[in-house]
A = this chain, B = another copy of it.
Amino acid sequence: MTTIYDIAKLANVSPMTVSRVINNTGKIKDSTKQRVEHIINELGYIPNSAARSLISKKTKLLSLILTDITNPFFTKVARGAEDKAMELGYQILLSNSDEDPVKEAAYIDMVLSTRVDGVLITPTGDDTVNELNRLTKHQIPAVLLDREIKNFSGDAVIGDSYEGSRKLVEHLISLGHNRIALINGPAAISTARERHRGYVETMESSGFPIVNNYISNINYKTDNTQNIIQTLFSLPENERPTAIFAANNFIAVRTIQALDSFGFRVPNDVAVVCFDEIGPIDNFNPFLTVATQPAYEFGQIGIQLLIDRIEKEGAHQPNKIVLPPKIIIRQSSVTNVD
């Protein structure tokens, strides 16, 4: 491996001069500069970032901790994050927590030993506050993505789950539904709380009762919905829900599959709506009615906030960016739509 010492020797200068040429600092005679640069190119020399990090305490590495990149929402987040990071000279370390606090903690360990400059994270739940505190203790800035956390104030990029929720429920109500079930994420996750709030308030303001049996909480990514669907549809026909609000795309898919397994068709027997698209290509799967969120921007803005926090001196106020959802009406809720 060639080092600045090799270059220095060949160029008859000190290593320090080589360093100056590489970093474009200080004043170097043009001829020396040329000579050094020529040798650098000749040998294909590339600075060792470990050595640099040791001094600068910066790695130009960021950690992106998502629950699962396989979820199209997070796929696009990752793409936005990567693009912005690259643009600003950083690289991204990817991790999937799978909604599992144990995996999440293990990743924070790695993050800490890799000494990344910052972390953009979708926390698994409110308890993630402990991991965030570990980061803070080591002065590693973190930005929350998609989910806020109780007892933690810091930068965040989130969607407007309350608003999206209201609009989805209003849409269902406008179609004549009033027995609407909510299959939600865990109450320890802010998006689930907000979607619940949107659901409840919209139902109430439309004068419909909140039926507790209609509301359930499951894991956003793993739990299946068989039991829930079975229970809901064992009710007498005039008490069954006519529509289901699935809190996210994965829950929606599992819900539709469960419905299918019991012989119920969407939307003929039941209408289904949810948050976020189920595929990477917008408007290509013309099936699910969704509250879609600008995932790519989540990633971009998240990284931008993070890098601002890293590079800008002084502790400025926490920045909270709220990105609005967009309702797209498709066949899973109405039959007569393209």
Contacts and interface: CB of A to CB of B under 8 A. Distances in A.
Interface of A: 1, 44, 46-51, 53-54, 57, 59, 61, 64, 68-72, 75-76, 78-79, 82-83, 86, 91-96, 109-110, 112-115, 134, 137-138, 253, 256-257, 278-281, 284-285, 287
A185 B83 CA distance: 24
Contact of A69 (B51, B79, B287): B79
A253 B282 CA distance: 11
A134 B78 CA distance: 28
A285 B279 contact: yes
Contact of A113 (B46, B76, B94, B257): B46
Contact of A54 (B44, B54, B95): B54
B46 A112 contact: yes
B278 A278 contact: no
A53 B92 CA distance: 19
Contacts of A253: 281, 284
A109 B60 CA distance: 14
Interface core residue of A48, A83, A137, A280 (most chain B CB under 10 Å): A280
Contacts of A78: 69, 94
Contacts of A76: 70
Contacts of A134: 44
Given A91-B93, A91-B110, A92-B94, A49 B82 contact: no
18 contacts: A44-B137, A44-B138, A48-B54, A50-B50, A50-B54, A61-B93, A69-B69, A69-B78, A69-B82, A71-B280, A75-B280, A78-B94, A91-B93, A91-B110, A257-B284, A279-B280, A279-B285, A285-B287
Contacts of A53: 50
A125 to B, nearest CB: 21
A285 to B, nearest CB: 6
Contacts of A113: 46-49
